[in-house]
Amino acid sequence: MLIFLHRPGQGCLGETPTAQNDPEAVNYLDPATLELRREDGRLQCRLPGQSEWTDVKLTRMFPHSLPQEWIALLGPFGKEYGILLNLHGMSRENRDLVLQELDRRYLTTRIVRLLSSKRRFDVMKWTAETTRGRVSFITRGLRDQIQQPLPGYVIFSDVEGNRYEIPDIAALDPASRRLLEEQM
C-alpha cells in the first residue's frame, strides 16, 4: 500500500520524468509560484505567464494518509490541471486559501471521543463527541460498516449514508478505545 507514497525524487517508477511535454509525467505545480484567488465562491488559479483556470476543485489524492499533501487541482469535467505535492513555500494567504477550500470540500465528521455503543442484533447505535458536536448514529452489519483504510484509521458508515472517521485509534482516550475494540 505504501509504494505510492514515495516522493518523486526517490523514483518510485524508476526514473522521474522531467520533460514538460511528456503526457504521462505527473504534472507537479510549484506551490511557490502558483497564484490563487477566490472569486464568486470558487477558487481561481494561475501559473505565471499562463491563462487563468476558473472553478478549480481541490481534491486530496490520499485523503487518509496525507490530507495536506498530494492535492490535485481539477477543472470542469474532472480534467486535471496539476498536482500540489505539498504546501511548502506557499505564501500565507495562498496556504490559507487552500486549507479553507479543502475544509469546505471535505465534510467527513471527525470523532474525538466515543461515548457509548449499544448493540441490538445486527444494529449498533453509537454516541460520539465530534468536531461538530455530539452525535448519535447507527451502523449496521458490522464488518461492512467499519472500515480500516490504514492501520489505526477507522471509518464508520452509518445507515443514512454519513461517514465518521477516527484518524488515529492510538490517540483516543482509553475508554473510547475500549468501546471500539470491543466491536472490532
Partner 1 sequence: MADEKEWNDALPEGFVPEGELRLCVKADLLPDGSYGAEWLVVTDSQVYVVANGDLQPVTRLQFPFAEIAEPRVELLVDGGAFEIKHADKRHELLRFTAARSPRFMTAAQTLEKWLKEEEARLPEEELRRCPSCGFPLDRGSRVCPSCTPRSRSLRRLISYLRPHWLPACCLTLLAMVTTGLSLLPPWLNKPLMDQVLVPQGPPRPLQERFWLLGVLVAALLGSRLLGSALSAVSGWLMAYVGNRLTHDIRSQLYEHLHYLSLSFFDKRQLGSVISRVNQDTGQLQAFLTWGSADLVINVLLVVGIGLMLFAMNYRLALLVCVPVPLVVICSLSFWRRIRFYMHRVFHRWARLNSALQEGLSGIRVVRAFAQEPREVNRFVERSNDLAVTGVQAERVWSVLYAILSAIIMSGSMLVWYFGGRGVLLGDMTIGTLTAFISYVGMFYGPVQALSGLVNWSSRSLTAAERLFEVLDSVPEVEDAQDAVPMPHIEGRIEFRDVTFGYESHRPVLKKVSFVVEPGEMIGLVGHSGAGKTTIINLLCRFYDVNEGEILVDGVPLKKIRIADLRHQIGIVPQDTFLFGGTIAENIAYAKPGATREEIVRAAKIANAHDFILQKPDGYETILGEAGQGLSAGERQRLVIARAVLHNPRILILDEATSQVDIETEKQIQEAISRLVKGRTTFAIAHRLSTLRNADRLIVLKAGEIQETGTHDELLHKKRGEFARLVGMYQAVSKVHEVQR
Given the rule CB under 8 A, which residues bind partner 1? Answer: 40-42, 63, 103-109, 120-123, 130-135, 138, 140-141, 143-144, 158-163, 182, 184
Nearest distance from residue 66's CB to partner 1, in Å? 15
Nearest distance from residue 162's CB to partner 1, in Å? 5
Nearest distance from residue 30's CB to partner 1, in Å? 26
**C-beta of 48 vs 133, nearer to partner 1:** 133
Degrees (nearest 5) of the Cα angle 131, 132, 134? 95
Using the structure block, give the residue that is written with the C-alpha cell 470491543: 182
CA pseudo-torsion sign 169, 171, 172, 175 = positive
Nearest distance from residue 184's CB to partner 1, in Å? 7
b or e along 109-132 (b: 16 or more beta carbons within 10 Å of the residue's beta carbon)? bebbebeebeeeeeebebebebee
**C-beta of 81 vs 106, nearer to partner 1:** 106
